[in-house]
Amino acid sequence: MAASILVTGGTGYIGSHTVVELQQSGHRVIIVDNLSNSNKSVLGGIAKITGTRPDFEQADCTDFKAMDALFAKYGDIKAVIHFAASKAVGESVEKPLLYYRNNLTSLINLLELMSKYGTEALVFSSSCTVYGQPDVLPVNEDAPIKPALSPYGNTKQISEEIITDSIKAGARYKASILRYFNPIGAHPSAEIGELPLGVPQNLIPYVTQTAAGLREMLSVFGNDYNTPDGSCIRDYIHVVDLAKAHVVALDRMLDGKSADKLEIFNLGTGKGLSVLEIVETFQRVTGVKLNYRIVGRRPGDIEQVWADPEKANKVLGWTARETVEETLLSAWRWQQKISS
């Protein structure tokens, strides 16, 4: 069987967009997902865009036996892109053990199996949450890691340490740790996008659901921050730009071009936008009026963070290209499709 890339969480939001980019650049993909927060119908969307339906295995990455059997079945998995994880910050505060078990056990299982089967490379989904509130903006990869504000954030920090320590101890695989800023938007085809279960916790799905009339009103969490308009600032990156960076980081390792066995990259646009700027831009580009009100701060929110993406720009030769206008429009087209 031809060598494949195993994508854990490949039916999820960022995973599905990355599978599309992988297939479009000629990689053979196997998705493993437990479908706890995604739907098998995503495979149809991927097939429509790329003309190829990826192999799919329903399994949980915390199940060592099932994952061992999967590696054995496919024989030649040359790399793993590991998205599968729980990601709701609030839920992680209520159910910390679930988060530690899920996010850490799955990573440890994969690293052990990568050693057992001689898998060459790992791409790992980390988050700008590891920087907390940075002292210097834009934040680069050398900034100090701040104490995590939630069990979810802590799982990302510990995961980075697990990968680092295993490579220090002589593991043969290479790894690329990608620290995402705020991924938003959907594939331009509107065949795949974000499918939040229940009430969205993140800003953009809440905005699009409010615009579509599914939610009464958007709450803007705080206008008394030390920012120009008082609302929080983030670096919003189009999910397709983010997905493309995974392919570049992967190919760099597989082509033997990475300088070190472990590399870390920020994935952001380098531009910060406030919540109120997002609301204003969304209304301007879609022509839809958004009901919103200012409410109190959300506990645990960082005031402002945006990326210094220079390392990824220079070393990977990758740059986020989409404008925020196009990105918000893609999110809106996707929302209209799924709510019609």
Binding site for ligand UD1 (CB under 6 A): 87, 89, 127, 129, 153, 182, 201-203, 206, 218-221, 232, 234, 275, 298, 300-302
Q: Are 241 and 316 in contact (CB under 8 A)?
A: no
Q: Measured from the CB atom, is 49 or 218 closer to ligand UD1?
A: 218
CB of 302 to ligand UD1, least distance (A): 6
User: Distance (Å, rounded) from C-alpha 29 to C-alpha 8?
Assistant: 10
Residue at shortest CB range from ligand UD1: 232
- In terms of Cα–Cα distance, which of 232, 237, 214 is closest to 279? 232
Q: Measured from the CB atom, is 23 or 102 closer to ligand UD1?
A: 102
Q: Are 296 and 219 in contact (CB under 8 A)?
A: no
Biggest CA pair distance of the chain: 58
Q: Which pair of structure tokens corresponds to residue 172? A: 């043969």
Q: Which pair of structure tokens corresponds to residue 283? A: 């209304």
CB of 153 to ligand UD1, least distance (A): 6
Q: Measured from the CB atom, is 93 or 254 closer to ligand UD1?
A: 93
Q: Measured from the CB atom, is 54 or 205 closer to ligand UD1?
A: 205
CB of 274 to ligand UD1, least distance (A): 8
- In terms of Cα–Cα distance, which of 31, 42, 14 is closest to 179? 14
CB of 277 to ligand UD1, least distance (A): 11
- In terms of Cα–Cα distance, which of 241, 258, 260 is closest to 249? 258
CB of 250 to ligand UD1, least distance (A): 21
Q: Which pair of structure tokens corresponds to residue 230? A: 């008082």
Cα separations in angstroms, 72 against 14, 53, 60, 118, 173: 26, 21, 16, 11, 18
Please give the DSSP secondary-structure letter assigned to residue 201: -
Q: Measured from the CB atom, is 43 or 232 closer to ligand UD1?
A: 232
State how far Cα 25 lies from the chain centre: 20
CB of 294 to ligand UD1, least distance (A): 9
Instruction: Clarify whether 180 is annotated catalytic.
Output: no
Q: Which amino acid is at 40?
A: K
| Residues facing 309 on adjacent strands | none
Q: Measured from the CB atom, is 167 or 245 closer to ligand UD1?
A: 245
Q: Measured from the CB atom, is 232 or 316 closer to ligand UD1?
A: 232
- Burial (CB < 10 A; 0-12, 13-18, 19+), residue 75, is exposed
CB of 82 to ligand UD1, least distance (A): 15
Catalytic annotation, pick one of 152, 173, 206, 225: 152
Task: Provide the b/e sequence for 120-148 (b: ≥16 CB within 10 Å).
Answer: bbbbbbbbbbbbbebeebbbebebeebeb
Q: Which active-site residues does the annotation give?
A: 152
